[in-house]
Each structure stands twice: as structure tokens, then as C-alpha cells.
Structure 1
Amino acid sequence: MPSLTRDEAIARAALLTVDAVEVDLDLDRGPETFGSRTTLRFTCHEPGAATFVDLRPVTLERARLNGRDLEPAVLVDGRLGLADLAADNVLEVDAVMAYGHDGQGLHRSTDPADDEDYVYGHLFLDAAPRVFACVDQPDLKAPYTVRVTTPQHWSVVGNGAARQTSPGVWELATTRPLSTYFVTVCAGPWVSVTGEHDGIPLGLHARRSLEEPLLRHAPHLLEVTATAFDHYHRLFGVRYPFGDYHQVFVPEFNAGAMENPGCVTIRDQYLFRGAATPDQLLEVDNTVVHEMAHMWFGDLVTMRWWDDLWLNESFAEYMAYRTSTEALGAPEAWVEFGIVRKRWGYAADRAPSTHPVAGSPAPDAVSALQNFDGISYAKGASVLRQLIAHIGADAFDAGVRDHLTAHAFGNAGLEDFLGAMARAAGRSLDDWSQAWLRTAGADRLSLGRDGTLARSVPTEHPADRPHTLDVAAFADGREVLRVPVVLDGPSAPVDGVADVPDDALLVPNAGDLTWAEVGLDDVTLDALPAGLADVPDPVARQVLWTALLVGMHRAEVDPRLVVEVFDRAWATEDDPAVLRRVAAAVTVSVVPTFLPPDEAEAALRRVAAAADVLLTRAGTVEGPAGDGLAVVAARVLAASSTDVERLATWSRGDGLPEPLVGDDDFRWLVLRRLSALDALDEGALAGAEEADRSLAGRLAALGVRAVRPTPEAKADAWRSLEEDESLSNYEALEIARGFWATPDPDLVRPYVRRVGDLLARLAPRMGEDALSRVATALFPLTVVEDATLEASAAMLGRTDLPPGVHRALVDEDHVLREALASRHRFG
């Protein structure tokens, strides 16, 4: 079906004003389809003109425009043609719609714990026509009145306050003007916790089988929500405008969360069934305040077209980390930002698919979705930090308030935002925005022992970006230098570098204040194994870890050095985000992709030994900090150990670290490792499935079977992906994530050239967002050889894969090329 183009959207916005939308949904028709009735009232500014609305039904039962019936033939490729419009129009549409099972549209999922069904709407980016007839573009906002019929034991949550008017019939309060992609309905036998803060009704909701973790986490979640409301009210000068504020933890969600006004949907894995490390809890807090920031930036003021989607996400990303630090009292949030979000963004900026933060061409909606990545989030947030350094925090905050007030309940673009910032700063931002927002690529900073801080600019994307940052040096566990620098040219002198000890670690961008890859000098690289652990500043340690991993991807750092530094420095790290993410990078990327296969087993033994050291150390640390260290250590052991006896003991629940006693999710990690070692019998797996009949347990069992290193297991996994049309988005993703795991590339090499055919087979039954994630997981990054590169080139040449899937394959192809370059240089 054609994707709406920007030109079509501009023309339709000039022609129409959408005045009101009424939607009636009948969710009591069984598990596959639902009824949808839409009454759309709109004004046409050129009576007699023609246009179309967006609609993708299973069956169009009736369409009436201004009292006259429309022929079904006017619905072509998801567009319902409307001719001879009046000045004031009423369109009535009755249709049968299909539930989604890919996380898009109105997604329906069955919880195996009790066989109850749950439904939630995820209409981003262009899925609204799968739920109701609409003018599906972000700049035609309208108030919505929604009514829902459900099984009588269900409850309903949505954008407006919900009330039950009769058994199984719910009516939601009419909303303020919303873009179509923000409309949602969440229906099912939810368990709920409610509260109120500053006159705002609050609600938390989850599946019935998650009642215990919901009740356990609810007091903290409500406290975070209340604190963030107070913070944003002070900062923005505009009260939350959307009535009730609900947060619904939903199953099989493709993203982290979605900022539907008044009814945020969040992946329900964030309600941890078992142990959670401090950085995992911080991640949830950060997600909560990120979506809350969108209530103002994105929901109250929305971009006109998808090419400004970055502005929504960059702002919410920056504001979430700022709020976590300033309001929630979590300064370690910026460490997590660097090791998680910025590494994601740097990878996107190195790839051939890189694009400017702003101004990327989005001729249609699907094109915009391809740029919904680490550049739009992490780089954009980092650029906003540089904007603050450029104009000052007071001017930035004043510009935000100006922008929100001027465009409330409407739409705005980049020019509007920069105009507000320029007025607040009292100067033009044209040159700054051209360098930082409209030019792709990341500069690379290096610091010489002579005290010269040098900036290299990507040749493909030249720009003159000024950097406000700091430089530090560390020796013998002490900070021996810290110098603020404004780098507004190719290089700048840094006072004091010549006086530091000869073996000091030199750290450009030590405070992680700017967006730039860091190149470490040879002395620093040589000193990292012995010196990294003693660096007292957690942000600087994160910068060093990130520089080490980025250097490996650029074929400048031997992956063996990464393993060496991990072996000697990781187990003494204190920050849980660094511990967890660095370990994941080593076990998921460094060892299986960058190291030669014959060195992988020895490297994993070193990883497991380091995890054992951390586990021992955790026993000497009291309280939640010690528990967090123990959980990280045990999880890394579960991913890397070859000690089958120990793993089998843990799988039975014996000898576990105290925080993991009774933790079903940890048990599945252990079973997955046993399966990867081909040391798990079918009886033990069946017993685990019987003991954990949850959605998480069902998914974990699929992954456990997929990682087993036997021809039969790989054939079964592939056949399931190829033939089982009932697989949900999460089930397909879990199988794909386990498939390529193997100690012997020969086991999976025959499938390398079959990936493209499989993706093409999946495309008709899986939405582009979900399929792109599956494509990323299905890319054969454990078979690093020229033949895989040839197979990848063939995939990229196909014309039967959606654009988002092609983009995902381009990015994975780039990682394969990085691994090949590394092996050619160091292998």
C-alpha cells in the first residue's frame, strides 16, 4: 500500500480542517477481528474538491459521506476516495478490522498464564487506518470521542477518562486535539493501582498475571511520576493539559514506550518479575520521565511532518536524563546515557545510513521511520546539550517555554524551535544549526602528549562544529588534570598536558559533554588494562570504555585488548550500567563477531573468571549495591560459563546468590546457556516450561531451543520462522536471536544465503517495524567471512523487502564489514 507523501499531506492540510472524530470499537467479536465505526466531521476550504481518508479494513461494510452511500470501489490501496466535498462534511464508516499480532494497530495477545486476552493500540507511525478511518497525518489534529464494547470482565483505559456506561460498554472523555498516531485504547482484565497528585488522577495497569510485580513497583513508579510532574510544571510553565495520566504495561511491545497523551503504553518487561539491577530500575525511571516530557514536546506541540520527528525524541531524551539527575537525584544517569545511548548513536553515525539530526528528507511516512534511530535520540540529545553550552541554560529554558506557549495544541517545525531559541539567546543560530543539526557524521577528537587537542572531521560530511568540552588525565588512581576547552577549529592547545606523568591516561571529552568519537593515544591504550579500574570518575571511565569499543569497531583497537581490559578492569567497576553493558558488548559482539572463532572459548573463560571475581566481591558489599553486583555477576556467568555442573545446580535453584533465589528469569538464562553447551535434556526443559507458564516463560523456551547447537535444533527453528504463521512479533524475534548462536559456524553456514528469502516470506504477515527488528536479529554476524558479505550484498539488492528492513540490513552489513576489517588487521 502506498505511504502518504509529504506533498500529499501538505495538499490535504491546505484543503481540510478536521473538526471532531468519534470512534466506536466493538472488541467483543472474538480473537481475530473487531468492529470499527467512525464518524469524522471536517471542513473543506474548497467546496467541490476531492480528497481521501486513510482506511485499511478486512471488510468495508458501509461508507457514507454527507448522507450518501459510497461504493466500496472507492477504497483503493488503503485510501477511501471522497469527491464533491461540501464546506462542512460528515463521513461515517463501518468496517471490520483485524487485530495485529506484530505490535502494530490494535494488538491482541493471549497470556498463557491464565489464557486471558489483552488489547492495546499502537498507532505510530501510520497504523491508525488499521483501527479506524482517519486523516492520518500529524498536522491535522482533532478532538476524539471514543466508545468501546468489550467482554464484561474487561476494563478500558484510553486517552480520555474512561467510565463504564453499562456492562461491557465504556465511554472515554472527549480529548483535547490529538494527532491520529497518539490515539490509543487498552482493554483487558487489567489489574490497576490508582492515585492522585496535584489534582491529576494517576493510574498504573498491567496483566492480571503481573499483579505481584505491579504492586511491588507501583509506589516507586507513582513517586517518580509525581516528582516529574512537579519538575516539568516548574520548568515549562505550562500545566499538564490532558486530564488523567495512565501508564499501561502491555505485552509484546516493539519499543520501550509510547507517549499517547493521557495513556502511555510501556513494555511490560519493565515490571521485573525477579531481581533488577540499579541501572535497570534507573532505565525504567528514565523511560517514565521520557514519556512524560513528550506530553509537552510531541503531544502538546507536535511536528508538522515526520522529518521533524527527531525534535520530539531528542528533546524527550535530553529532558529525561536531565530530570533523572536534577529531580530524581540520580547523577549516574549520564553514565548510563554514555555507555548505552551514545554508543548506539555513534554506531548509527558511522554507518552508511547516517543522516543529519534534522532536515533528513522524508518524502513519505515510511522514509521517516527509517531515521528513527540512535541519531534521532542520543545524538539529538547530545546536540541539545551543546546548544545549552552555546547559548546558556537560562536562554534554553526560556526558549522552550516560548516554543510550548506559542504552539500549544498545534504543530511546529525546526524553524519555529530555532526561532524561539534565537529570540531567547538574542542571536542567530543559523551557522550553529547548519553544523550541528543539518550535517551528518561525528567528529573525532584526539589528545596528543604535546597538549594538542585535535578534531578530525568525516570527509563525507564536512562541517565546522564547535565543541564545548573538558579534557582530563588520570595517574595512580588520581585525577591529575581537568581543563575546560572550547574547540572551534581543527585544534586547540590544552594547558598542563605536558606536565602529567608519562604513563597517565589522557581522556578527551572526559565529562562526555559533546558528541564526538574519542581516539585514545597509544600510551593510554597500553595503560588501560592496569589503569582503567583506578580512574576515580565514573563518567571518565565510561568514556574510556566507549572509546575502546568504538576503536575496535573502527579496526583501530585489537579485540584482544578489549578482552584483556575486561579481564583486568571490569570486575572492579562500580557503576552497574557500565558493568552490564560492557559485559553484554563483550559476550554478544566482541567474542562471537570480532574475535576469530578458535579464540572464542578461551575469551569466554576469561569473561567467566572475571564474573566470578565480581561475584566474590559482591559478597563484601552490603545492601542493595552488593545485591546489584551479585545479580550482574551471576548473569554474566550464566552467559559465559562452561561449568556445566555449576550451571545445572543453579538451574535446580541450588547454590544461587541470595537476590536470585526463586528468580524464574534467571533460571531461563541458565537453561539457555546449558542448551548452548548442548547440555540440557528435553525433560528438564519441559519441566521448566510447566513450572513457568507465563508469557516470558514461553518466549524464553523458544530461545532455549533455538540456541541448541545441533542440526536438528537449527532446522526446527528455521522451519518455525518459515512456516508458523501464528508466531507473534516477540516469538519470531526470540527465535531469530537464538538461531545464530553456535560455537561452530559450520552448523549455521548453510542458512546464510537463505535469510533474504525468509524475510521476504515473513513480510506479508509482519509489520515493517516488527520485521525490521527480526531482520536485525537474523543477520548472520557469527559467520564473519567474505561469503557472508556476498550473501549480504545479494540481500541488499532485493526489491521484495520493505524499506525499513533494507535499512536494518544495511546497518548490519556495516557491522559485518567492521568485523572483517578488524580480523584482516588483527586476526
Structure 2
Amino acid sequence: MNLFRPVAYSFFVLLLSACQSSYNSKSEKTTTVPPRAEDAYLSQEQAYLRSSRVSDVHYNLQFTLSESSQFSATSVIDFSLKDNSTPLTVDLNDAEINALMVNGKSVKPTYNKWFITLPAKSLNKGKNIVSISFTREHSTDGEGLHRFKDPVDDKVYLYSHFEPAAAQQMFALFDQPDLKATYTMSVSAPADWSVITAMKESRVEEKGQLKVWHFDETPKLSPYNFSLHAGPYKVWEDNNAKYPLRLFVRQSVAKQIKPSDWFKYTTQGLTFFENYYGVDYPFTKYDQVLVPDFLYGAMENAAAITFAEGSFLTNGEMSKSKRERLANVIMHEMAHQWFGNLVTMKWWNGLWLNESFAAFMATLATAEATEFTAAWRSFYTGGKQAAYRADQSVTTHPIEVAIPSTANAFDNIDAITYSKGASALNQLRHLLGKDTFRKGIHQYLSENAYKNAVLDDFIASLAKASNRSLDTWKDQWLYKAGVNTINVNFECVNNVISSFEIEQSTDIKFPTLREQKIQLALFNIKGDKLKQTKALPYIYKGQTTQVNELKGVQCPDLVYPNYEDWGFVKVQLDKASFKTAKQHVNKVEDPLLRSMLWQSLWDSVRDGQLSLNEYLDVAVNNISAESDYTILGQVISQLETSKTYLNKMYGLNNAYAKEMTQKLEELAWANTIKSSGSNMRRWFEAYRTITSSASSLSNLYTVLKGDEVIDGLVVNQDLRWDIIAQLNRYQYPNADKLITAELEKDSSDTGLKSAIYAEVIAPDEAIKTRWLAKIQQNDSELPFSKLRSAMTALYTSDQNSLDEKTADQRINSLASIDAANDHTFMRSYGRYLIPANCTSQSVKRLQKAADTLTELSSGTKRSLLVALQSDERCLMIKNKMTIK
């Protein structure tokens, strides 16, 4: 099923374009505004109608914060109104309104818990001032103004998260990105708290046990870029950079942070981005706040960026991969300070460009401004592979899609939005030239500073810089779904090439042939190395492109037609190159090419061209010779996924599965012992993840107890919890008691979540049933972050029989669960609790659900379709196995 039919999509875009043109008209003719739907969401039509009437918005906000579950606030909204012939809505979610004043007069609120409707008779044509005083419960699901009570010391911490449209959970406003505004704020809070927002505090008054923090007016910001964070945070400062830097974290986890890394990467990033963009950083300070229970990796709030604690806290030295991720995420959110905060999309259909550009720029900055010079290789093995998988999924979609309502803002936030978009931008940079691309970015930021912009503004800046039309490129790459495949056909006479062509193919459902600039690279075996003999930049388009420039070149042993990964395209190796790759992958000197060849082998498994057992033979026989940290992680990840497939296909008692598991355990343990540093830790993590045999579990237990000491391996608190979970997963004797004992040592928030995970992962039907009930009940007393920990552990790949016991119930209740919960909950529920068990029965069950559950939300429907496709792929891979 194609969720976005091209004809309907094109019509919707044309309709919205026509509407927007009429809304932006300078005509003084009164607009007839249809009534807004009585629900929690804002349609694009209503948003454009409102922004056609409202302008010059300023918010004066006063908050009273405490440790209680509620807060109180007053929003004073100063704005101009083009016409006052019809009512106007102001967004405010689930609050108790204490007073409403419109232009100095008290007005009885017309309020449905989602928005206030201001009567036309109370409004002025021109200047208006609306004051709304209210009380509201703090949120506990990561949106709005989230409250967290630390289980270690009972201290309370608050932070805000507004994307896509959750600012209304903290204050009354026009909650849409194209109504940029300035914000002035004062906050009353306990005296030992810090208060953080887009501006540095201008003054702080002491009032007994409280302090009142005052903040000057911000530059113009879209509502989702504004923020408020408060609590007794530990703070570090660094005033050695061009802008003052601060880092905030909860006091109980302060020892798990190394501030010098944060300040180093932040300083490197600010220098890089100011130089690259040619535009100064648009704010006066740079704060970063680590927060608990966060829904995402990080959020680019203007000058007050939030980061998920779980990704960046560490008990001991941070691994190389975590430090690279830290650098990359810092760069990603920093890129947004210009591209997203300084220049902001008009509506949520432009969210992809924000995220794609930040993902692209983060990789570029990490590679060129930090010690992680191989960042593009990390992008290739991580985000880009996720994008390829998403673009081959039944739920694929164009990069740019229509977003009819805020209810749909996150429907398509996935690897296509982030990594395919970033890849498209990267190949456009190669197509136009790096300097030309950079010039276009500078022009875009300069011309649209503190404004809202649309895709055509971005494309126009690049077209002007390159002096060429990009209309065809835009249509091919941004409005058409699907990934192309290229392969090469060549013939040789007397050991030289006599003919050479690039063939481009498409999925029958997505027939777009694209133009793209790539590098053709030819290699020959020379001694014990695979040496490059030719590299040729080339632009291909259409179904077949002749490459006459390669005639007469030495006949290659291997051709790779996307050398250095310029393009976004799947590569299908020709037969000779595929054979060379299988036999000589370790002879490739270039690490990126070596990585791409490993990926080609793995893709062949996923595409049904190579059996899983053949791939495993190649991997087991070659991976020990790999010393590159990034490639090692890539192949180990493929081995771990292979183990997951074996678990689902055969369970733990199948002869081949047991034999291969033993080989993988022995491989991981042997390489742990002989390796050192980051590679050793990577191998041990693979051993811990793969281990299921009694002897290897016993080995893990001796490491946990300290009886087995591996030189260079620090068994920190994080690793202790991981080992305990693995022991309980396979019912190692008394493993459940280890959880209780460990929780006495570590009762932190991380410890509580780890204990839940370790308990739920046990193959115990009673535990599974109890936790499934907790997850499925309405209004659970447990915060979502704890429920999410349980979801991830409930049914693992080796627990199919337990999974099947509740599979029908989970499918039959999916519609009611979906109706009772929001998109945040269902994103995790759909990913982890829709049963897909690699059997024909499972596939039939999922297919029936996809056919009959027509009322599911779009996000849950996507999760269901992805589960079905994954189950079908698992069966296909099983049927391709060539074991006896």
C-alpha cells in the first residue's frame, strides 16, 4: 500500500498553494473564516488563515514554579489584527483559566481545553492585548513543561519540549511556526533553582525562599524554538569561547558527565558554523541542558538546547562511539540555531528540510572540526543505511510531504526525513560544487534571517548561486519516493575494457529515474591488496549511460560505482565484483570502500540474493582481521541482527542455530581477549549481546563478580546492568536476585529503568502478563519512560512461544490501545508490541490486521505495515537458507 498517492498528493499541494497565495494577498477584503474544528489539532488551512490576520506578536510571560505537580502562569499576548470581523482562537492545552482579559476588559472564557475562542466584538482591528492567567498540571510524558522527581535525592527538575506544537501545554499562544514572536519572561522559583531560557537572565530578585528571574526580550522565534528549564541543576561554565557556554545536569548524575568534552565540541562547532555559513551565531549565549525522560536525542531550543540524559551519561570513560555521537548531536542541534531557529519553516511540511540539513551539516562539521574525521563513514553505516531501508519499506514516502494538520506533523519523521534528505543534500553539493553550495546556503540564511521560509526559497538560493535551474532535481529527489539501484555492465577484450555502461533501475511502484553525480572506481588484485586503478567522477541519468572514457582501461577485478559515497543509490555488484568482494574484502585498503563492500554483502542477504548462512561464513572467516573501529561496529551489528534472525527462525534448540551461536560466542570472546581499547570493548559488548549458552553465561557471571578480569575492560554500572539483564534473559541461576541486589546499589532513575528491563526480559509468562497489563492500562501511574523500558524487553527474538501467547490479544486490542493513547506512546508500542514472529501464521495475522483495522492512526498503521514487511522478509531469508 502506498500511503501517499502521487495524484492526490499533487492536488493537495496545489490546493494549499492556492490557499496560501490568497492568505498572503495584500487585499483588504474581509476573509470569511470557517470555524475551527473542536479538537486538539490545528489544520494547515486554519494556521494560514490565522497568520493572514495576526502579525507583530509579542509575549510577556510570568511563571510561578515550585516543586508541586502544578504551575501557574500568565500569558500577555500583544499583537496586531488585520480584521476583527470574526472570532480568533488562542491555543492553551488542558488548563484551568483563572482570568481572561481582552483589551483591558474581563471576558468569560469560551474554552474547550484545547483553545480559547476570543469573540470578535472584544477584538480591535489593529493593536490588541490579551492576558490569560491559568493553572496547569505539569506533563510527565516529555512534552510541554515536563516535571521529574529524582528518586535519589527527591529534587524536582523541570524542562520544556514544544516540537511540533506543544508550547500550548506551557503557555497560551498562537502555536504555529509562521507566527514568529518575541518573548519577555519572568519566573518565580525556589531560591536554589536555576532558570534557563533563550536569553541569559538580566537580573534576579531574592524574595524570601524564592527568587524571581527576569529575562530580556528575545529575537523573533517560532514558538517551538522557545523554552523554559528550571531546577537545582548542577552548572559548569566556560567563558573562554566567543560566546559564554554553560552546561546543566541533575546533581545526582553530575559525576557521569565530562564537561570538557562538551565545551570542546561546542567551541569547535561554533567556530566551524560561523565560518561555513558566513553568518554570526544569532544569540548571545549557548546553554546545554541534560534532562531525564526525554523523548528524543536532543532538541534545538534557541540558545538552550536539551539532550536526553540516557544517551550521554556514562559511568566511567565514554566509549569512542559515544563520544562521536556526542560531537555529532551537539553539531546537529547547533546547525539548527541558524537553519531552523534563525530561518524557520512556515509549516510542518518543511520540518524535513530542518532535520535533513542539520543531519548533513552535523556530519560535515564533525568530520571537519573534530577528531572524528571518519564521520561520513559513520553516517554511511548508520543513518544512511536506515534511510535505504526506510525508502524500500512499504511505508516509504517522498522527502517533502503534505502535512494537513498538527496531528500529522510527526507521521513521517523517520530516516527518510533525516538521512535520505541529508544524503540528497550531500549529492547536490557534489553536483553543484562545494563552494557553490556553500554560497547558496549563505545567501539563504542572510536573506531570510528572523523570518519564515519555504522550500522554494531554499532552492532559489542554490539555483541563483549555481546559475542553473533545480526544478527537475527538486521534483526527482524531493517529491518522488523510492531508491534507485545502479549496476555496471562491461566487457573486456585482451584484458582492457571494450565497453562500459551504467544501468539504473527502479522499483516498479516508484519508476522515477534520477540524475546524480557519482564516482566510478576500478580495482585490481595486486599481491595481497585490492588496489585502485581508476576513479572517474561521472554524471548519469536515465536508464542507461554509456561511459566511453573507460574504454581501453585495464579490465578490473572489482568495480564500485558509488566510490566515496557521493550518491544516494543502491549498488548491485556485477558477478565478477561480487565474487571478488566475498573472497577479498579484507584486501581492500580504503576503509570506506571496505565498509561499502560489507554492506553490499549484507544487502544481498536482505534482498534474497545471498543466503544468511553464506554471509555468516564470510563474516566469521574475515571479521577477526578487521581493526577499523567503525567497520567493526558495522559488521558486529550485522552479526547481531543475524543472531536475531536465527532466533526468530529456529529458536535456541535448532542444530544449526546452536552451532552458529557457539561460533559467534567463541569469535567474540577470542577477539575480546586479543583486542585492546575501544575495539576490545566493542567485541565484549558483542559477546554480551550474543551470549545464550550455559558456558558463556557462566563466563559473563564471573566477569560481573570480578572473578574474571579482562585487562582494559571497566565493568562500570551501565555494563553491570547489561550483564544482569542478559543473565536473566536466559534464566541463569539466581539472576532475578541479582536485580534486587543491584538495585540496592543503584537506585537512580537509570537504575530503576535498568531493573525494569532486566526483570521484564526474563522468559517468565507471569512477569510478561503482569507488565503487558501495566502497559496496556489507561492512565498508568508509571511514567512513560518506565513503560517504554518494559516495552523494549517484553518479547525478545528468542521468546516466540511466549510472544505467541498474547499475540492475538495484542492485535485484537490494537485499535482500542491506539485510540486511547497519543502518538508518543504508540510510536514505542507499535515498534515493540506488534507481534511479528517469522512464521506464515504470523504473516497472515498481520495481513488480516492491515486489511481490517482501518481506523488506526497513521503512525500506528505505519508500524503495522512495517511489522508485516519485516515478517515477510524474515520468512524470505529463512527460505533462502542453504543449510541441510
TM-score (norm 1): 0.93
Aligned counterpart, 1:605:
662
Match of 2:805, SS state, is helix
Match of 2:280, SS state, is coil
Maintained 8 Å contact 1:159/1:263: yes
Please state if 1:315 is matched with 2:369.
no
Maintained 8 Å contact 1:769/1:804: no
Structure 1 residue ranges without an equivalent (≥5)? 619-625
CA distance in 2, matches of 1:815, 1:685: 33
Alignment of 1:68-217 (within 5 A): 68-75=105-112, 77-84=114-121, 85-86=123-124, 87-162=126-201, 163-166=203-206, 167-214=210-257, 217=258
Aligned counterpart, 2:405:
364
Please state if 1:564 is matched with 2:606.
no
Aligned counterpart, 1:686:
740
Q: Deviations over 1:777-807 (max 9, x none)?
A: 2232345433344246426743564332333
The partner residue of 2:875 within 816, 820, 825 is 820
CA distance in 2, matches of 1:595, 1:492: 42
Alignment of 1:717-736 (within 5 A): 717-723=771-777, 725-736=780-791
CA distance in 2, matches of 1:742, 1:311: 36
**Shift in CA distance, 170/704, structure 1 to aligned 2, threshold 3 Å:** same
CA distance in 2, matches of 1:759, 1:189: 41
**Shift in CA distance, 219/7, structure 1 to aligned 2, threshold 3 Å:** same
CA distance in 2, matches of 1:729, 1:697: 16
**Shift in CA distance, 36/680, structure 1 to aligned 2, threshold 3 Å:** farther
Aligned counterpart, 1:219:
260
Alignment of 1:579-618 (within 5 A): 579-588=632-641, 591-592=644-645, 595-597=649-651, 598=654, 599-618=656-675
Match of 2:518, SS state, is strand
Please state how far the C-alpha of 1:680 moved relative to its aligned partner. Answer: 4.7
Maintained 8 Å contact 1:749/1:783: no
Please state how far the C-alpha of 1:132 moved relative to its aligned partner. Answer: 0.8
**Shift in CA distance, 815/69, structure 1 to aligned 2, threshold 3 Å:** farther
CA distance in 1, matches of 2:747, 2:303: 32
Match of 2:195, SS state, is strand
Please state if 1:49 is matched with 2:102.
no
**Shift in CA distance, 124/414, structure 1 to aligned 2, threshold 3 Å:** same
Aligned counterpart, 1:459:
508
Q: Deviations over 1:620-669 (max 9, x none)?
A: xxxxxx31011111111111122122111112133243443241111111
Please state if 1:548 is matched with 2:601.
yes
What code does the residue aligned with 1:313 have? E
Aligned counterpart, 2:690:
640
Aligned counterpart, 1:628:
678
Please state if 1:384 is matched with 2:440.
no
Q: Greater CA deviation, 394-403 or 328-337? A: 328-337
Maintained 8 Å contact 2:485/2:504: yes
Q: Greater CA deviation, 244-253 or 552-561? A: 552-561
What code does the residue aligned with 2:532 have? V
Please state if 1:483 is matched with 2:538.
no
Aligned counterpart, 2:31:
none
CA distance in 2, matches of 1:799, 1:664: 46
Structure 2 residue ranges without an equivalent (≥5)? 1-38, 492-499
Percent identity of paired positions between Structure 1 and Structure 2: 26
Maintained 8 Å contact 2:818/2:860: no
Please state if 1:655 is matched with 2:708.
yes
Which structure has the higher relative contact order (CA within 8 Å, separation 6+)?
1
Q: Greater CA deviation, 757-766 or 63-72? A: 757-766
Please state how far the C-alpha of 1:367 moved relative to its aligned partner. Answer: 2.0
Aligned counterpart, 2:631:
578
Aligned counterpart, 1:305:
347
Maintained 8 Å contact 1:634/1:657: no
**Shift in CA distance, 745/19, structure 1 to aligned 2, threshold 3 Å:** closer
Please state how far the C-alpha of 1:81 moved relative to its aligned partner. Answer: 4.1
Maintained 8 Å contact 1:99/1:107: yes
Aligned counterpart, 1:268:
309
CA distance in 2, matches of 1:498, 1:334: 33
Q: Greater CA deviation, 87-96 or 602-611? A: 602-611
Match of 1:356, SS state, is coil
Maintained 8 Å contact 2:644/2:797: no
CA distance in 2, matches of 1:56, 1:381: 34
Please state how far the C-alpha of 1:117 moved relative to its aligned partner. Answer: 2.1
Please state how far the C-alpha of 1:445 moved relative to its aligned partner. Answer: 1.6
Please state how far the C-alpha of 1:562 moved relative to its aligned partner. Answer: 3.1
The partner residue of 1:60 within 97, 106, 114 is 97
**Shift in CA distance, 455/507, structure 1 to aligned 2, threshold 3 Å:** same
Maintained 8 Å contact 1:440/1:461: yes
Match of 1:434, SS state, is helix
Please state how far the C-alpha of 1:94 moved relative to its aligned partner. Answer: 1.7
Alignment of 1:486-505 (within 5 A): 486-493=539-546, 504-505=557-558
Q: Deviations over 1:42-96 (max 9, x none)?
A: 1101133322111112422222222233334443644544423212111111222
CA distance in 2, matches of 1:81, 1:797: 42
Maintained 8 Å contact 1:104/1:767: no
Q: Greater CA deviation, 573-582 or 190-199? A: 573-582
What code does the residue aligned with 1:331 have? T
CA distance in 2, matches of 1:58, 1:759: 30
CA distance in 2, matches of 1:278, 1:535: 24
TM-score (norm 2): 0.88
**Shift in CA distance, 759/147, structure 1 to aligned 2, threshold 3 Å:** farther
**Shift in CA distance, 541/673, structure 1 to aligned 2, threshold 3 Å:** same
CA distance in 2, matches of 1:168, 1:783: 59
CA distance in 1, matches of 2:782, 2:456: 44
Please state how far the C-alpha of 1:577 moved relative to its aligned partner. Answer: 3.2
Aligned counterpart, 1:622:
none
Match of 1:369, SS state, is coil
Please state how far the C-alpha of 1:522 moved relative to its aligned partner. Answer: 4.1
Aligned counterpart, 2:762:
708
Please state how far the C-alpha of 1:404 moved relative to its aligned partner. Answer: 0.5
Please state how far the C-alpha of 1:436 moved relative to its aligned partner. Answer: 1.7
Maintained 8 Å contact 1:796/1:806: no
Aligned counterpart, 1:254:
295
What code does the residue aligned with 2:261 have? H
**Shift in CA distance, 498/453, structure 1 to aligned 2, threshold 3 Å:** farther
Maintained 8 Å contact 1:722/1:761: no
The partner residue of 2:455 within 414, 417, 420 is 414
Match of 1:235, SS state, is helix
Maintained 8 Å contact 2:383/2:415: yes
Maintained 8 Å contact 1:559/1:595: no
Match of 1:330, SS state, is coil
**Shift in CA distance, 427/452, structure 1 to aligned 2, threshold 3 Å:** closer
- Root-mean-square deviation over aligned CA pairs: 2.4
Q: Greater CA deviation, 813-822 or 84-93? A: 813-822
What code does the residue aligned with 1:276 have? M
What code does the residue aligned with 1:170 have? W
Aligned counterpart, 1:10:
48
The partner residue of 1:518 within 563, 571, 578 is 571
Please state how far the C-alpha of 1:98 moved relative to its aligned partner. Answer: 2.3
Q: Deviations over 1:400-423 (max 9, x none)?
A: 111111110001111101111111
Q: Greater CA deviation, 788-797 or 35-44? A: 788-797
- Which is greater in Rg? 2
Maintained 8 Å contact 1:157/1:185: yes
**Shift in CA distance, 254/152, structure 1 to aligned 2, threshold 3 Å:** same
